[in-house]
Chains A and B, each alone.
Chain A
Amino acid sequence: MVSQTTAAAIKQMLDDTERDGLLAIEGIRKEFPGVIALDDVRLRVRPGTVHALMGENGAGKSTLMKIIAGIYQPDAGEIRLRGLPVTLKSPLDALEQGIAMIHQELALMNWMTVAENIWIRREPKNRFGLIDHSKMVEMTQDLFTRLNIALDPKAQVFELTVAQKQMVEIARAVSYESSILIMDEPTSALTDREVEHLFAIIRDLRSRGIGIVYITHKMNELFEIADEFTVFRDGKYVGTHSSKDVTRDDIIRMMVGREITDMFPKVDCPIGDVMLEVKNLSIPGVFYDISFSIRRGEILGLAGLVGSKRSNVAEALFGVAQANSGEIIIDGKSVTIANPSEAMAYGLAFLTEDRKETGCFLTLNCLENIQSALITRSHVTAGFVDQSTVTKLAEGMAAKLRVKTPNLHETVENLSGGNQQKLLIARWLLTKPRILILDEPTRGIDVGAKSEIHRLITGLAAEGVAVLMISSELPEVLGMSDRIMVMHDGRVSGFLNRAEATQVKIMDLAAR
């Protein structure tokens, strides 16, 4: 009797394992302040397969991977490993349960050797309890032989190339006897030959029964290396298919099938002369041969996937970074822009992508945040800020943009993301720009604030401002732009007119 129930239980367990595969994720939800990053997401990874995770920027791929690797904790949902529910409290916890992640920004210790990096925290000891370096090198060599990696275990990590560092990370993951390996865009910094080597290693790991979760933006990789793939869109699960059953177009359609709502109040306004022209702008290793022009009153949308270096182009225009070659022409005159201050003198303004990193002064109040750019150029006499005038201007602009705060002396960290964004826009509008660069103007803010900002941008264009709008949201790009420039891997891959542009056409140019 007892044995029968036990047997049934074991059978049940085996069935579960069979159904779940290696890793099963069910109903995962993750919320960040103001955004739902993941909503009821699922994923199944079978042993001995490469499972690609696809989706646009912000689809939630990286967030899910961070949950699986124990970096984030989900708000709801279940993770099952070989049919058994697990909670992953930390990256170490995940590692010990057999889940290893190879980070996009590699997580190795530069000034230590390859062997030390691999065996950190688990170093072999000699009989005096001290670290046995020769044993460690031997163990590393064994590991490398097994994986067909040609690297000196005693090499310092800082001397290695990105590809070699990746090999070290993979070896480290394997050394933990991991059954699941997460790779976040592993080929983004590799040459073709290095990619081949990486794929050889991945195929070898797959044949050993390891399940590999592979995040990528690149279609050709999907067909070359992945057995199955899952598509996410806006933090939601779209579908899982075998990569043999689908075409490239099918996948793009799954990725972009988002509804375009009528929240974009784009009005056609008269477009004037060329205001800004960029010719063959290049920074070797970052972007190449960028050429475009924007006219007075025109909104040029700039689309592209993460890593297409859109923001770098904006930074070069604003003097945050220096272009090595190429020409910037403003109002028909060729100019050099060495720093943001010079850019502002030419009438440029730059709303940066990352509010927290490069935008807000979080510890300071609203007023200080709004006036910071203005007072670098004007409204200062003998070192003293003409505060009453500036305050009036700031209050006027805050009211115009409907910033919701009790007063301008409120510290910015207490404001919502949308209001912070409005403050930053106010900062730049006070400088009366003629050319406005907006990098993800509505990222991470709620729908109401979003459409207000869109209305504002359109209004500025109507007043004759030339706008360059970088956005990862295709509906936003399509809804707001007069023309769309698409970048891929540091190059312009095409232009689309408002009339001809569709989500599929943009993705087609963005994901080669």
Chain B
Amino acid sequence: MNTITQTATTELASRRRLPAELTIFLVLIGISLTFEILGWILQGQSFLGNTQRLSIMILQVSVIGIIAIGVTQVIISDGIDLSSGSVVGATAMISMSLAQVGTFDRAVYPHLTDLPVIVPVAIGLLVGIVCGGINGVLIAYTRIPPFIATLGMMVTARGFAKWYTKGQPISFPTDSFAMIGKGLAPVLIFLAVAAVMHIVLRYTRYGKFTYAIGANRQAARVSGIDVERHTVKVYAVAGLLSALAGIVVASRGLTAQAGMGLSYELDAIAMAVIGGVSLSGGRGSILGTMIGMIIFGVIISGFTFLRLDAYYQEMLKGLIIVAAVVADVYRQRKRVKKS
């Protein structure tokens, strides 16, 4: 008798609950429609009808989206990465310095000009892996909180980027390097990264371990997972993706500056959290982050469209991030009550 009712209630519960991504998608539609209506009322024109605006919006969020993909898996493993923006700055500088044309006489490395595009890209990515790897080793083996370890990397990598050319910007990349961020390339790179990470998180051991560690570190350890080693990998991958974003940014701007990527980490975390990735780990998906990223883009683009002052935009952005975290905490609390 007891077991029968139990099965019935679980069945009911599963039928009633929608996938988290669907809920977030509905939020996206709601926000978009709100802007559409406000657009007609306040501006006398359509928000969604303007495809050019939408493509600009997608382009804007794609670079940070690449970082958000890396941050998503970090947060799923119950961590956080504050160093992404600074790693963008550092890799932009390093890869640009190795991608300059020979005809420019004040190149950073006058003997290392006109290198094949693979060199700046590979070295840039390597820098990202090293930065992320250091984060991971600090977190896994010295047991300092991820917040502190990556905060240290955030400050250090930014300092490095400034020191690298004593604050001077680096310009004049080769044509092939400039191709990386040209046109819709950032969107395509983002989509490729998202697709790969979606598959990795869903179908590979790497993904299973990441969720397991975030869901219950102790249980993961007892299941035979080398939690420390996997943590290092997760942060290294996040660093790699930050570096990729750095290369794209530098290439697109045809110049690299030490200040590039400033506060990207916060936007990336916001995208993931808005997309339903739980800050307490073990829950979230690439699909969710992608929707979160578009919500983020729609809001920014919508505010601009409504000619809202840039200052208000930033303040509202802050509010939205907090609201997303409150929603997450509220979801947690409901779960605790139930169990």
Contacts and interface: CB of A to CB of B under 8 A. Distances in A.
Nearest to B15: A406
Contact of A372 (B6, B203, B212, B218): B212
B226 interface: yes
A413 B6 contact: no
A361 interface: yes
A145 B282 CA distance: 52
B206 interface: yes
Contact of A360 (B11, B219, B278): B219
A415 B9 CA distance: 10
A340 interface: yes
Contact of A363 (B10, B215, B224, B226): B215
A404 B6 contact: yes
A385 to B, nearest CB: 6
**By CB atoms of chain B within 10 A, which of A340, A387, A427 has the most?**
A340
Given A340-B223, A414-B10, A448-B3, A361 B216 contact: yes
**By CB atoms of chain B within 10 A, which of A318, A343, A375, A387 has the most?**
A375
B206 A415 contact: no
Interface stretch (A66-74, A200-208, A350-358): A350-358
Contacts of A363: 211, 214-215, 278, 281-283
Nearest to B209: A376
A344 B224 contact: yes
B339 A362 contact: yes
Question: B-side binding surface: helix, strand, loop or mixed?
Answer: helix
B204 A384 contact: yes
Contacts, number: 111
Interface residues of A, number: 42
A341 B226 contact: yes
A358 B218 CA distance: 5
A339 interface: yes
A413 B339 contact: yes
Contacts of B281: 363
Interface residues on B, range: 20 to 34
B220 interface: yes
Contacts of B225: 341, 372, 376
Contacts of B220: 361, 372
Contact of A368 (B211, B221, B278, B338): B211
B335 A413 contact: yes
Nearest to A379: B205
Interface in A301-341: 318, 320, 339-341
B13 interface: yes
B50 interface: no
A373 B224 contact: yes
A269 to B, nearest CB: 28
B7 interface: yes
Given A364-B211, A376-B223, A427-B223, A405 B10 contact: yes
Interface string B199-242: 00001111010011011101111111110000000000000000
A359 interface: yes
B207 to A, nearest CB: 8
Contacts of B205: 375-376, 380, 383-385
B226 to A, nearest CB: 7
Contacts of A356: 339
B14 interface: yes
A387 B203 contact: yes
A320 B2 contact: no
B224 A376 contact: yes
A227 B227 CA distance: 51
B221 A340 contact: yes
A240 interface: no
Interface in A8-63: 33
A446 interface: yes
Contacts of B215: 361-364
Contacts of B6: 404, 416
B222 A385 contact: no
A360 B216 contact: yes
Interface string B247-261: 000000000000000
A368 B211 CA distance: 9
Contact of A371 (B206, B208, B218, B339): B208
Nearest to A318: B222
B134 to A, nearest CB: 24
A358 B222 CA distance: 7
A448 B220 CA distance: 29
B222 A406 contact: no
A268 to B, nearest CB: 30
A377 interface: yes
Nearest to B216: A361
A248 to B, nearest CB: 38
A273 interface: no
A448 B223 contact: no
Given A385-B203, A404-B7, A341 B224 contact: yes
B223 A364 contact: no
A377 B226 CA distance: 12
Contacts of B214: 363
A320 B222 contact: yes
Contacts of B11: 406
Contacts of A361: 211-212, 215-216, 219-220, 282
A410 interface: yes
B223 A372 contact: yes
Given A406-B11, A446-B2, A350 B226 contact: no
Given A373-B223, A406-B11, A358 B339 contact: no
Nearest to B199: A384
Given A318-B222, A384-B204, A406 B212 contact: no
Interface of B: 2-3, 6-7, 10-11, 13-14, 203-206, 208, 211-212, 214-216, 218-226, 278, 281-283, 335, 338-339
21 contacts: A339-B226, A356-B339, A357-B218, A357-B219, A358-B216, A361-B216, A361-B219, A361-B220, A362-B335, A362-B339, A363-B282, A373-B224, A375-B205, A375-B208, A376-B223, A383-B205, A383-B206, A384-B205, A404-B6, A414-B338, A415-B10
Given A375-B208, A384-B205, 14 more contacts: A340-B223, A350-B222, A368-B211, A372-B208, A376-B205, A380-B205, A383-B205, A404-B6, A405-B7, A406-B11, A410-B14, A413-B339, A427-B223, A448-B2
